Amino acid sequence: MLRRTLIGASATFGLAAPALAQPRHNAAPANRAQPRQPPAPSAPPANSPIGPVDTIARNVVLIDFETGATLLSKGGDERMPPASMSKLMTMYVVFEYIKAGRIRADQLMHVSDNAWRMGGSRMFLERASSVSVDDLSRGVIIQSGNDACVTLAEGISGSERAFVDVMQTMAGNIGLTSSTFRNATGWPDPEHRMTPRDLATLARRVILDHPESYRLYGERSFRWNNITQENRNPMLGRVNGADGLKTGHTEEAGYCLTASVKRGDRRLILVVGGLPTMRARQEESERLVEWGFREFDNVVLFRAADTIDQVPVYLGDSATVPLVGGREVVATVPRGWRETLEAKIHFDAPVPAPVVKGQELGRLDISGRGVPPMTLPLYAGADVDRLGVVSRIPAVIARMIGGGT
Query: Domains of the chain by range and CATH?
Result: 2-16+306-401 (2.60.410.10), 59-295 (3.40.710.10)
Report the run of H or E that residue 148 belongs to, with start and end.
Answer: helix 146-157
Calpha distance 86→180 (Å, rounded):
10
Cα–Cα distance measured from residue 123 to residue 345, given in angstroms and rounded to the nearest whole number: 54
Q: What's the rounded Cα separation, in Å, for the pair 265 and 349?
A: 38
What's residue 5's pLDDT?
52
Distance CA 316, CA 395 (A): 9
Look at 30 and 2; give whichever has higher pLDDT. 2
Please state the rounded mean pLDDT for residues 9-28.
Answer: 38
Query: Catalytic one among 86, 112, 121, 144?
Result: 144
Q: What is the pLDDT of residues 194-220, one digit of tens each?
A: 999 999 999 999 999 999 999 999 999
Q: How far is CA 123 from the centre of its chain?
A: 29
- CA 302 to each of CA 74, 195, 336, 343: distance values in angstroms, whole numbers, following the listed order: 32, 33, 20, 11
367 belongs to the catalytic site = no
In 3D space, the residue among 256, 249, 202 whose CA is nearest the CA of residue 90 turns out to be 202
pLDDT band at 289 (very low <50, low <70, confident <90, very high): very high
CB 184 within 8 A of CB 150: yes
Given this model, what pLDDT does residue 48 score? Answer: 95
Categorize the per-residue pLDDT at 4 as very low, low, confident or very high, splitting at 50, 70 and 90.
Answer: low
Beta strands 374-380 and 360-367: pairing type?
Answer: antiparallel
Is 144 one of the annotated active-site residues of the chain? Answer: yes
Measure the CA dihedral 12/15/18/19, to 10°. Answer: -160
Where residue 398 falls among pLDDT bands split at 50, 70, 90?
low
User: Model confidence at 244, in pLDDT bands (50, 70, 90)?
Assistant: very high
Alpha-carbon distances of 227 from 9, 126, 280, rounded to whole Å: 59, 12, 27
The pLDDT of 301-309, averaged and rounded, is 87
> Any idea what DSSP says for residue 157?
H
- Predicted local confidence at residue 24, as pLDDT: 53
Q: Is the pLDDT of residue 391 over 80?
A: no
CA distance 147 to 187: 12
Query: What is the tens place of the pLDDT at every residue in 331-368?
Result: 898 987 767 788 899 999 899 999 999 999 999 998 88
Q: Reply yes or no on whether the pLDDT at 38 is more than 80.
A: no
Our answer to whether residue 112 is catalytic in this structure is no
Helix axis angle for 133-141 and 87-99, nearest 10°, is: 150
Checking if the pLDDT of 33 tops 50, the result is no
| 147 contacts 87 by C-beta, under 8 angstroms | no
pLDDT at residue 21 above 90? no
Choose the catalytic residue: 73, 86, 87, 121: 87
Cα-only R_g, the chain:
26
Where does residue 349 fall: left (phi above 0), alpha (psi -120 to 50 degrees), or beta otherwise? beta
Mean pLDDT of the chain: 88
Q: Which of 135-139, 262-266, 303-307, 321-325 has the lowest mean pLDDT?
A: 303-307
What is the torsional sign of CA 81, 82, 87, 93?
negative
Q: What is the mean pLDDT of residues 248-263?
A: 97
Given 48, 73, 84, 112, which residue is catalytic? 84
